[in-house]
Amino acid sequence: MSDQTAQPAASAAVVHLALPKGRMQDNVLKLLGDAGIRLNFDRRGYRPTLSLPGFETKLLKPQNIVEMLHVGSRDVGFAGADWVAEKEVELVELLDTGLDQVRIVGACEPSFLEDGRPRPGPFLVATEYERLTRRWLEREGLEGRVVRTYGATEVFPPEDADCIVDNTSTGATLKANGLTIFAELLRSSTRMYAHPKSLDDPAKREVIEHLVLLVRSVLDARKRVMVEINVPPEALETLVGILPSMRYPTVSPLHAGTGFAVKAAVPRDGLPTLIAQIKAAGGTDIVVFDIAQIVP
């Protein structure tokens, strides 16, 4: 495969890219690395240089990325959908990486609930998500008053708050603190966003779309594996008919006309069932290997 990190048409545009610092950082940097994009960090570690031309890059907290995209000091960046919803900003979602999936939930000690809902009357909610929480309270007709937290929200009940609204991936931290989930406000993941006006600039848009292409190529490749199979001539059409390839499988003749080698990129999650079907159709010598990138 050709080097997909090569920039398309030459352009004088500089795109200001924001990468997340903290919990999301490792997954996003690995995603870029798998796309062939190398990062060289400065002494302080906040302004890495990309091997992909056309970008000026800075590491920021995800909440700040959302704000900087909103005001236009950053053109494109990675952030959680929860903070875009919390900040109530209008950004263009370029793609959902599916990474760092979390739920924004309401949680409390079981004694606070009546029939699965907060008991009637005024109560206190501790959260980092003030706007999301207020919208939820209004939507549900609940008399909650919001107290802003700055991390470790799960420790507030029962002495300092009746319940919390917080993010969770597995619920383990909430459970460890004696809390039970009683409501789900939102589902979130790491996504790539752009400032709307940045996409109105043709030169910047070209650079941004090339980055999206590279990142999507890795995400698409992670969902598939390459399968290579040997098959006798009489079983070729049957085998090709069951392969869920992207377009058409690659078919090559084996030595001395003994059969064919068939190669196809197939969905990873269907592989266990597919292997049984391949064997039943007459396929042999099955080889499965990972794919680095898929570029349409």
Q: What is the pLDDT of residues 266-284, one digit of tens each?
A: 999 999 999 999 999 999 9
Q: Provide the token pair at 225.
A: 């594996």
- The CATH number linked to 168 is 3.40.190.10
Same domain, 118 and 168: yes
Which residue among 169, 188, 207 closes a domain? 188
Of 40-54, 103-117, 187-201, which range is least confident?
40-54
Q: Which of 182, 188, 154 is nearest to 85 (CA)?
A: 188
The residue assigned the tokens 């459970």 is 175
Same domain, 91 and 137: no
- The CATH number linked to 276 is 3.30.70.120
Whether this prediction's pTM lies above 0.75 is answered by yes
Q: Provide the token pair at 190.
A: 């790491």
Gap between the Cα atoms of 193 and 94, Å rounded: 5
Q: What domain range includes position 252?
A: 224-290
Query: Where does 153-200 have alpha helices with state H?
Result: 172-176, 196-200
The separation between CA 266 and the C-alpha centre of its own chain, rounded to angstroms, equals: 21
For 174, what's the count of Cα atoms within 13 Å in the CB-facing half-sphere?
21
9 within a domain of the structure (yes/no): no
Same domain, 108 and 135: yes
Q: Which of 44, 38, 71 is nearest to 58 (CA)?
A: 44
Position 2 scores a pLDDT of 42
284 within a domain of the structure (yes/no): yes
Same domain, 75 and 197: yes
8 within a domain of the structure (yes/no): no
The structural domain count of the chain equals: 3
pLDDT digits (tens, 9 = 90+) for 147-179: 999 989 999 999 999 999 999 999 999 999 999
109 within a domain of the structure (yes/no): yes
Give yes or no for a cis peptide into 158 (omega within 30° of 0): yes
